Amino acid sequence: MLSFRFPFCEANGGRLLGIVSIDISEQVRTQRALSAALASKEVLLKEVHHRVKNNLQVISSLLAMQAESLQEPAVVRALRESQQRVQCMALIHERLHRDDQADSMDFGEHVETLSRDLFHSYGVDSKVVQLRFETEPVWLPLSQAVPSGLIVNELLTNALKYALPSGRAGEIVVALSCGGDGIVRLTVSDNGAGLPAGFDWKQSQSLGLRIVDILTRQLDGTFTLEDNAAQAGAVSSLRFPRAAGETPDESSTAVGAARVSGKRPGRSGTGRLEQTA
């Protein structure tokens, strides 16, 4: 019961005290029911992240087992890279399961964990290849964190594979920011071997840069890969507009099987990384 008291004067100067009481028990009951429903939905969403992470880890283990049973180095490497891509997605669901927020994350923090995990899984000696971060907290919904994470995974893998291969010393810098214009800027630069002469990433038909191209389109962003003007090596830059927080229902469409199909988009128009609910 909500009560308001207000003194007032009668025409003859007499003073009275008015009291108005409103029964709000119905509103309180509704509010409590809504809070309980929201809490149970959050628990359910976290459970979904937990299960998605577990399933992705099973896929990752299957790929690892298959790689162990094969001899051909190129096939083993391809399976290992696919395993790393799956791990990269699993890491996002693990974080969303663990954190307070179930539908968005601090991608600045995530990108550091993701990069360190990748270095660890490729057994990189941190004294030989140094990893430096220039990141700030940038909150991204799941629907943007998954493609952005996969792009970082491809760029770091390339930096280790081509820029600083087999014991070559150098540095990889991962930078992330989002200014007042709402544009997320992500760069991965290295001081390694540099791009092949005359290389144009847009013409590349290899899987890694095709994945980057497809995911950049999903983010409504732009991507460039060029020689590092400041020093030897290469620099990749991704820009995209940061989406406002989405409801768990909307962002959960990213919790789906992804498959690469068709040819490179832009020329064929059929290439895509599909997410199925």
- Whole-angstrom CA distances from 111 to 77, 145, 151, 212 are 23, 10, 11, 16
Is residue 158 part of the contact set for Mg ion (CB under 5 A)? yes
Q: How far apart are CA 227 and CA 246, in angstroms?
A: 36
| Partner from Mg ion, ligand ATP, none binding residue 162, C-beta < 5-8 Å depending on class | ligand ATP
Is residue 204 part of the contact set for ligand ATP (CB under 6 A)? yes
Is residue 115 part of the contact set for Mg ion (CB under 5 A)? no
Identity of the residue, 43 or 75, whose beta carbon is nearer to ligand ATP in the bound complex: 75
In the DSSP assignment, the letter for residue 122 is T
Q: Which of 76, 193, 272, 275 binds ligand ATP (CB under 6 A)?
A: 193
| Partner from Mg ion, ligand ATP, none binding residue 204, C-beta < 5-8 Å depending on class | ligand ATP
Is residue 208 part of the contact set for Mg ion (CB under 5 A)? yes
Identity of the residue, 208 or 248, whose beta carbon is nearer to Mg ion in the bound complex: 208
Q: How far apart are CA 1 and CA 23, in angstroms?
A: 5
Write down the residue that tokens 């590349």 correspond to. Answer: 204
Nearest alpha-carbon partner for 238 in 223, 216, 217, 218: 223
Q: How far apart are CA 124 and CA 238, in angstroms?
A: 25
Three-class secondary structure assignment of 163-223: HCCCCCCEEEEEEEEECCCCEEEEEEEECCCCCCCCCCHHHCCCHHHHHHHHHHHHCCCEE
CB 142, min distance to ligand ATP, A: 24
| Partner from Mg ion, ligand ATP, none binding residue 184, C-beta < 5-8 Å depending on class | none
Identity of the residue, 155 or 176, whose beta carbon is nearer to Mg ion in the bound complex: 155
Identity of the residue, 55 or 66, whose beta carbon is nearer to ligand ATP in the bound complex: 66
Q: Which of 88, 129, 195, 258 binds ligand ATP (CB under 6 A)?
A: 195
Nearest alpha-carbon partner for 243 in 175, 96, 145, 102: 145
CB 129, min distance to Mg ion, A: 16
Identity of the residue, 81 or 106, whose beta carbon is nearer to Mg ion in the bound complex: 81
> Over the range 149-171, which residues count as b (16 or more CB within 10 Å of their CB) and which as e?
bbbbbbbbbbbbeebbeeeeebb
CB 56, min distance to ligand ATP, A: 19
Q: Within 74-93, which residues bind ligand ATP (CB under 6 A)?
A: 81
Q: Which residues bind ligand ATP (CB under 6 A)?
A: 81, 154, 158-159, 161-163, 190, 192-193, 195-196, 204, 206-209, 234
